[in-house]
Structures are given as C-alpha cells and as structure tokens.
Homo-oligomer: A and B are copies of this chain.
C-alpha cells in the first residue's frame, strides 16, 4: 500500500493538488477498485464504509478536481447523474440502460472511417461514443 499511496501522493502533487487526507484516501480507494465507473454517491458510500471521514461536497470537489487534472474521465450516458471513470485515457463505452452498467471499449476497438469537419472556427475536442446495448430478444426500452 505504501507504494501506491506514495504514488497517489506524487500524482496529486504533480497536478498541483495538495495531498490532503481526504484526497489521498479517495485516490487510494479509486486506485484499489480501478478500472471502474463510479458516481459521487457511490464513492461517498464506499468511502464511509471504508472509514474515510469525508463529506459528499468533498467527494464532488475531489472527483471534479481529479477529472480536471486529467487523472480521471467523465462518462455521460444519461441525464440523471454523472459517472466518473478511473481510466482517463481515450476509450469508449458500452451502456446497458436496463442495468445501468457501463463497460469500457478500448480505443482500438472502434475506428472511424470518416468523421465530419467541425463547424468553422471550431476544433474537435474529443469524440465520445456510447454503444447502447440491451438483452437479446427484449424490446427497446
């Protein structure tokens, strides 16, 4: 653990975030469970269960800070709540609406034959792909 812990500390410092008790503990928890997709509420519950004394507001702050620092990614699959992705490098997602589960699709598994040019004055920031899946034989939902 000390190696990973140390690693987390260095990464936090590298992006200009003070390695506070809460951030280190959350980073550790996220590292231990990676790769995965987590909501703020989920992480909050898990942190409390793990004995990490942290508030929900800090969970939100931390997830956004980690994301902005490039340590995590954000996955948008529905308008309800935000999912944060422990994998920040480029990749895509399967999403099963019925179960709410998100699965990673490695970047190499999808290739664009062609992509449209962005509107004038704009550049492409990134391309999100969500492959929506459902059980065989069931209706759309």
A-side interface residues toward B, CB under 8 Å?
76-82, 94, 96-97, 103, 105-106, 109-116, 118-119, 121-136, 140-141
Partner of A129, one of B79, B96, B129, B134: B129
Copies in the complex: 2
The verdict on A113 contacting B111 (CB below 8 Å), with A125-B140, A132-B128, A136-B121 known, is yes
Partner of A124, one of B81, B103, B125, B133: B133
A77 to B75, CA, bound (A): 10
A123 to B76, CA, bound (A): 20
A77 to B115, CA, bound (A): 18
Task: List the B side residues contacting A111 at CB < 8 Å.
Answer: 112-114
Task: List the B side residues contacting A81 at CB < 8 Å.
Answer: 79
| CB atoms of B113 and A131 under 8 A apart | no
Centre residue among A131, A136, A140 by max chain B CB count within 10 A: A131
Interchain residue pairs A-B with the least CB separation, the first 3: A111-B113, A109-B116, A122-B133
